Amino acid sequence: MVRLFTRGGRALFVAIAIAASAPVAAADYYASKTIEMLIGADVAGGYDIYARAVARHLGAHVPGNPQIIARNMPGAGSALAGAHIFRVAPRDGMTLGALMPGAIVGRLLDERASNLFDPTKFNYIGSADTGTRVCVTYASSPTKTYDDAMKLKTIMGASQAGGATRDYDVMHNRATGTKFEIVSGYKGTSDILLAMERGEAAGLCGFDYSSLKSQKSDWLRDHKINIILQDGIDPLPELAAMGVPQVWPYIHDDLDRKAVELILSQQLFGRSYIAPPGTPPEIVSILRAAFDATMKDPEFLADADRMRIGITSSSGENLQAVVARIHASSLDVVARARELIAP
């Protein structure tokens, strides 16, 4: 079993006598226990919806079937939740966190970002959605392809600096030479989509494809939009089958390519879940195996389908490696990434 003695929120001693290869011991450890999942976002938002869906099904795949209780801890783009999990939460496998991507890569892209925790020290359990983002234009726009966007001035709706819809427009202009004219100040994607219907804006970038499908499935069905680009480290098969290109062929400078890869890497953490640093490796393995099983669970997938949320999962081992790699990025790559999205 695992015993944890704490004082002032810090672990003083952890004795481990549990192995991932011993399912009976794992079941004994988690039986009749409760895992708390801290969600670093407000209630009813996308991150909350995903996290609660995972919480409803994850316990069934953890040996001992513990109950999982979701609790919201919003603030500072998930930095408050991240700091709590890093500094205060018990390191015994009874606390998980759901953090926004900015909490994981923010320190690289914004020197003003929180330094309350070190993202490389978390134990990554997995991500439910890798969050491919797209650039789209309304059907009536003359800009119907990304090649058109390289030649034609195209009015793009956007939020303020720091939001994906604004930052991705700037990134594309600076790294690929698009002629996007950015109209910022919209509160969110819903307002931008309405502006497109009204003819105030021709399109937007930095829009999660899963959100497009859930918010505007009729636009896709009725061919009311052009999906001109997909932004992601790897191509999304569904979009590739539709002939939607990736950004990479349009970037010709090696430093810019590395910088854009750094920026897009945050999408791998679209719906990521973590355990505190210092959580015993054997318990991390149990939680990762349970997460992977949940992502394949027909009941979970049916639940996700009912809520119209996309599931493109990534393993905890993969996320751990990606975090280590991007946080080891050279100073010139980090500097260029910041330049590409700077106001």
pTM of full prediction above 0.85: no
Tokens of 202: 């021709």
Task: Report H helices in 79-216.
Answer: 79-87, 101-109, 146-149, 164-176, 189-198, 209-215
Distances (CA, A) of 77 to 39, 88, 102, 153: 11, 18, 7, 33
* Assigned CATH for 2-129+270-312: 3.40.190.150
Do 2-129+270-312 and 133-264 share a fold? yes
The pLDDT value given to residue 3: 40
Task: Give, as one character, the DSSP assignment of residue 284.
Answer: H
Q: Which H or E run includes 49?
A: helix 46-58
C-alpha 199, offset from chain centre: 31
pLDDT in tens, 24-79: 577 789 999 999 999 998 887 778 889 999 999 999 999 999 999 999 998 877 88
pLDDT in tens, 276-327: 999 999 999 999 999 999 999 999 999 999 988 889 899 999 999 999 999 9
Q: What CA–CA distance (Å, rounded) separates 30 from 290?
A: 12
Nearest CA among 116, 129, 39, 101 for reference residue 323? 101
Domain boundaries, the chain: 2-129+270-312, 133-264
* Assigned CATH for 133-264: 3.40.190.10
